[in-house]
Amino acid sequence: MSIVAVIPARGGSKGIPGKNLFRVAGIPPVVSAIEAARSCGLIDRVVVSTDDPTIAEAALAAEAEVVDRPTHLSGDRATSESAVLHALEHIDPAVEIVVFLQPTSPFIDAAALCEAIEPVRSYREDVVFSAVETFAFLSQLDDQGRATGVNHGPSARARRQDREPQFLETGGFYVMNAGGFSRARFRFFGRVSVTIIDERTGVEIDIPYQIALANTIAPIVDPAPSVHPVTFQKRSPATFIPEHLKNAPRDTSRGMMTYLEYRFRVEFCREQYVEIGDYATYRGLDWFASPWDEFSVGLLEDLNVGAHRVASAAVTDIDMLRVLAATGKPIILATGMPTLDQIDRAVDVLGTARLVILHATSTYPLPAEAANLRTSTTLQNRYPGVPIGYSGHERGLQISIAAVTLGAVVVERHIALDRTRWGTDQAASPEPQDFAQLVRDIRVIGQAMSDGVKRIFPGVRAPLAKLRRVPA
């Protein structure tokens, strides 16, 4: 079944011009909508309909498709439905479900979105939209400006606990049978139901103060947002390569050379790291590196990196670990090569206050039987309070995803632009589209794991009312 998400995002707006690019929690709302759609593993394609080249650029950078919206569908009087219908006409006509997302809702819940897709995919509903429960008493004004109750009478106001909830449309998402939508040409047709979302995620941005409101509550909606730092390696080849290997022949993509010459060729210099740092700042990314010697620690400190990573081969370099500990910065400790005793000694030097430990097996590529994922639990028990993550060198994504279900709070993978090119660990490195899929899957798993408290979720209420024969 083909499922396509369409995100209408025009450049103009009477209330807030350019609001689809105003940042909420550091991310433009149009990008947040794209990420929500991608985090729901049921959606095949994500399309942004826009008349604005800057929005189009942001959408393409977030790996969405773009449909250029014509002028007559971009004015204040044009409906969102018209933009979605136009987009559907320009993509695969075999689309069976269209997911209409509005970037004016910056906190679209991917898990709730997936929940909304299911009843449409199984043909139980034609439309499912996001809503929050409300017990508010509503009134309307008559022709003379006097208020009358909409959902309550003048002499009877039931207590909250005695009332059935009503549902406030949030505007975040609408999941629709594509054929029915194309025939009806409006978003509510046939059998319509709701997916109830957390009220905190139901904020909609239409007037300026709502941007400030959204940024204020963002830490409450997502108190621990995921970050994606980029890490490199920094070595001094003349120092770290053993003497007996310096002149050893190395067959490379540029022909035969000594191992020492090869290591110098693949090493970034200070000026290149300055360029990397500038670009990372421009893209809103953090970066740091794994220093392999004390000189490299000094260079990285001079570049003001925010953290350091200890390569697993360097875990036994106690002198360098002492220098790293003295920086007072967070340390990520890879453990693919050392024994538990060697890890213990490293932890004694580094301390645990700012430490993250990554379980790994340093084989490239890693066979599944050598992943030994339960070692993560061993590390969790051995170093209580220390965050434990996973550094993967396997082909594919399954083992990294499994590590998350075992409690990995950090996942590290190498990345390759093209796995078929020459390189030591190309076969163990996801390409960009695979890496994006890994991020989406990890986010969905994080939402699915929840807190372990047994509860009856709002979406259970409707089928419960239909299916329970014996009242509790």
Give me the pLDDT at residue 227, please. 60
- Please check the confidence at residue 144 and state whether its pLDDT lies above 60: yes
Give me the pLDDT at residue 3, please. 94
Give me the pLDDT at residue 181, please. 95
What string of DSSP letters covers 304-334? T-S-EEE-GGGTT-HHHHHHHHHHT--EEEE
Q: What share of the chain in percent tops pLDDT 90?
A: 54
- pTM of the shown model: 0.57
Give me the pLDDT at residue 223, please. 56
Q: Give Cβ neighbours of residue 265 (< 8 Å, ≥ 6 apart).
A: 252, 254, 257
The whole-number average pLDDT for the span 397-419 is 92
Q: What share of the chain in percent tops pLDDT 70?
A: 97
Lowest mean pLDDT among 182-196, 286-300, 335-349, 430-444: 430-444
**Mean pLDDT estimate for the chain:** 89
Give me the pLDDT at residue 213, please. 85
C-alpha span between 232 and 307 (Å, rounded):
12
* More confident of the two residues 403 and 205: 403
* Helix, strand, coil percentages in the chain from 3-state DSSP, rounded to 5: 40, 20, 40
Give me the pLDDT at residue 318, please. 97
Lowest mean pLDDT among 47-56, 67-76, 189-198, 306-315: 67-76
pLDDT digits (tens, 9 = 90+) for 459-469: 787 787 778 88
Lowest mean pLDDT among 134-143, 210-219, 372-381: 210-219
* More confident of the two residues 71 and 284: 71
* Segment of 118-122, 202-206, 422-426 carrying the highest mean pLDDT: 118-122
Q: Give just the sign of the alpha carbon dihedral 90, 92, 95, 101.
A: negative
Cα 373–Cα 374–Cα 380 angle in degrees, nearest 5: 110
pLDDT digits (tens, 9 = 90+) for 211-233: 888 878 877 776 555 567 889 99
Angle of helix 432-449 versus helix 29-39 axis, rounded to 10: 80
Q: Give just the sign of the alpha carbon dihedral 276, 282, 283, 286.
A: positive
C-alpha span between 175 and 126 (Å, rounded):
8
What string of DSSP letters covers 12-35? --SSSTTGGGS-BTTB-HHHHHHH
14 falls in which pLDDT band (50, 70, 90)? low
- Please check the confidence at residue 161 and state whether its pLDDT lies above 90: no
- Please check the confidence at residue 100 and state whether its pLDDT lies above 70: yes
C-alpha span between 182 and 172 (Å, rounded):
20
pLDDT digits (tens, 9 = 90+) for 264-293: 988 999 999 999 988 877 666 789 999 999
The whole-number average pLDDT for the span 88-102 is 89
Give me the pLDDT at residue 184, please. 95
Q: Which residue has the tokens 């933009």?
A: 83
Give me the pLDDT at residue 38, please. 87
**What is the longest distance spanned by two Cα atoms in the chain?**
96
* More confident of the two residues 5 and 455: 5
Lowest mean pLDDT among 103-117, 190-204, 222-236: 222-236
Q: Which domains are seen in the chain, by residue range?
A: 3-142+164-221 (3.90.550.10), 230-449 (3.20.20.70)
pLDDT digits (tens, 9 = 90+) for 440-449: 888 888 878 8
Cα 175–Cα 178–Cα 181 angle in degrees, nearest 5: 85
The whole-number average pLDDT for the span 182-194 is 95
